[in-house]
Structure 1
Amino acid sequence: MISAYGVLPLQDFGLNENESTPETILALVLHAMLTSARISHELAYKSLKRLIEVGYHNLDTLKKSTWEARAEVLTKGGYTRYREKTATALGELADFVENAELENLLERADSSPVQVRKLIGEIKGIGKVGTDVFFDTAQGVWPILASFIDPRTLDTASNCGLGRDLNSLWKVVGKEPVEMCKLASALTTVRLDKKENEFE
C-alpha cells in the first residue's frame, strides 16, 4: 500500500519535507486547511499547488498579498465554493503565524502533541478535521507527533484488513515517523479514491 500510494503530501511541490522549516510547516497548514474543506481532493490539490506556486507558504509573501489576489489564486485553482471565506482565512493565517511564530510551535507547546493540537486548532479555517490532517502529515517532520492516523483513515485501515490498532500499525512501519506519514497518506488516497477492494 505504501509503495503504491504512499506519497508524502508536499512531494510534488518541490519542498523539502525532511526539514522542519517555516515554509514547510506553513505549507502543511495550507494543505490541512484546503483538504479538510468539503470539496474534491483533486480541487484541493490543484488549489494548494497554485498557493505554493505564488509563494503563499512563505510568510512574507502571504502577508503582502491582498484579499483580491488570494481570491484570484483560489479561483484559478478551482476552489470557488469557499473562495471568499478561504481568502479571508489566509489573511488571518498570516497574522496568526506572525504572532504565534509557527516555526517555534513545538517549543511553545513544550513538545506536547496535546498542546500542538490546541495551538493548531486556534487557526481559523482548520477545525478538528484539519487538525487531524495536519497531524497525519506533519509527523514526518515533527516526530514528536508520531504515531498518528486520524479516525477516518483508521477505519480505512480496518476495511483493508490492516486493523485499526494504532500501536500495531506503528510497529509494522518500524516506528518510523516518515513511514507512518506515508501510510496515512496511502490510506487517505485509498479512502478518497474508493480503492479498499484492492486490499481486501
Structure 2
Amino acid sequence: MTHQHIIVAALLETHGRTFAAELGARVARNTPSPLFRLLCLAMLTGAPVQADIAMRGARALADAGWTTPHKLANSRWSQRVAALNEAGYARVDERTATQLEVLNERLLDEYGGDLRRLRAAANGEASLALEQLRGFKGIGEVGASIFLREVQAAWPEFYPFIDKATAKAAGRLGLPTGAGDLARLVDAQIFPRLVAAIVRTQLAGDFDRIRDGAG
C-alpha cells in the first residue's frame, strides 16, 4: 500500500461521508426529491453562514415537509423565514427565504421540477452543468461545485469531478490534484466519499491530523 493509499484510508475513516448522506438525501437513487434537497443545500451554502448551519437549514426545509419543488411552492415566505431563522440564519433568513422561492420557480418553469432534465440538457459536459446550476438564484461557483461533486454518485457521466478548492486541499495532503489521478486511488463508488472527505478536512482544518493518522 502506497503512502497515498494510507492517506486515503485515513480520510475515509475520519471524514468519509458525503454531504448528501449527512442530509439524508439518497442521491444515488437519482429521483427528483433527493436531487432537489441537494440543490437546496447547494444554495444554502451560498449564504454567509458556516457549513454546519447550511446543513441545519437544509434539514429544516425537510423537517417542514418541503422535500419537493411543488411542496416548497406551497409554503409561505413567513414560514420559510421562521424555519431558516431557527436553523441559524438570523441575519440572512429573509433574503434566503426569497432566494429559495426564486430558485424553486426556475426549477419548476425550466425543468418541470425535475433536475434530471438539467442532467439531460448538460449532455455529459461538466462545464455546461455548472453553468446551468449557477443560473439558479443564490447558487454560485461553490454551490454548483458542491452539487456536481455529490451528484456524480448518480450521474456517472460527470465522474470523476473535483473543483479547484478540492484539488488544492488534496495537494496539501500529498494526493493527486487532477480528478482522474485522484479517482484511480479508489473504486468509482467510493470516489464521492473521498472527495467529501477532502472537503471536510479543509472545513475542519485538520490536515495535520489526517497526515499524522497516516503516519
Q: Do Structure 1 and Structure 2 share a fold, with TM-score over 0.5?
A: yes
> Take 2:142 and 2:24, find their aligned partners in 1: how far apart are those partners?
25
- Asked if 2 retains the 8 angstrom alpha-carbon contact of 1:30 and 1:57, the reply is no
The corresponding residue for 1:65 is 75
Q: Secondary structure at the match of 2:49?
A: coil
Select the structure with the greater relative contact order (CA < 8 A; seq sep ≥ 6). Answer: 2
Q: Is it true that 1:119 corresponds to 2:132 in the alignment?
A: yes
Q: Is it true that 1:139 corresponds to 2:152 in the alignment?
A: yes
Q: Is it true that 1:167 corresponds to 2:180 in the alignment?
A: yes
The one of 188, 191, 194 equivalent to 2:205 is: 194
> Take 2:210 and 2:54, find their aligned partners in 1: how far apart are those partners?
26
- Asked if 2 retains the 8 angstrom alpha-carbon contact of 1:148 and 1:180, the reply is no
- Asked if 1 retains the 8 angstrom alpha-carbon contact of 2:150 and 2:192, the reply is yes
Residue deviations 1:14-47 (CA, integer Å, cap 9, x gap)? 4322211111111111111112333111211211
- Asked if 1 retains the 8 angstrom alpha-carbon contact of 2:102 and 2:137, the reply is yes
Which is greater in Rg? 2
Amino acid at match of 1:195: D
Q: Secondary structure at the match of 1:18?
A: helix
- Asked if 2 retains the 8 angstrom alpha-carbon contact of 1:13 and 1:52, the reply is no
Amino acid at match of 1:94: N
Q: Secondary structure at the match of 1:172?
A: coil
Q: Is it true that 1:36 corresponds to 2:46 in the alignment?
A: yes
Q: Is it true that 1:179 corresponds to 2:190 in the alignment?
A: yes
Q: In the TM superposition, what is the alpha-carbon distance from 1:169 to its structure 2 partner?
A: 0.4
> Take 1:114 and 1:42, find their aligned partners in 2: how far apart are those partners?
27
Q: Secondary structure at the match of 2:18?
A: coil
Q: Is it true that 1:21 corresponds to 2:43 in the alignment?
A: no
The corresponding residue for 1:129 is 142
Amino acid at match of 2:117: N
> Take 2:120 and 2:30, find their aligned partners in 1: how far apart are those partners?
13
- Gap runs ≥5 in structure 2: 1-10
The corresponding residue for 2:17 is 7
RMSD of the alignment, in Å? 1.5
Q: In the TM superposition, what is the alpha-carbon distance from 1:73 to its structure 2 partner?
A: 0.7
Task: Give the percent of matched residue pairs that are identical in Structure 1 and Structure 2.
Answer: 26
> Take 1:166 and 1:113, find their aligned partners in 2: how far apart are those partners?
12
- Asked if 2 retains the 8 angstrom alpha-carbon contact of 1:106 and 1:112, the reply is no
Q: Secondary structure at the match of 1:199?
A: helix
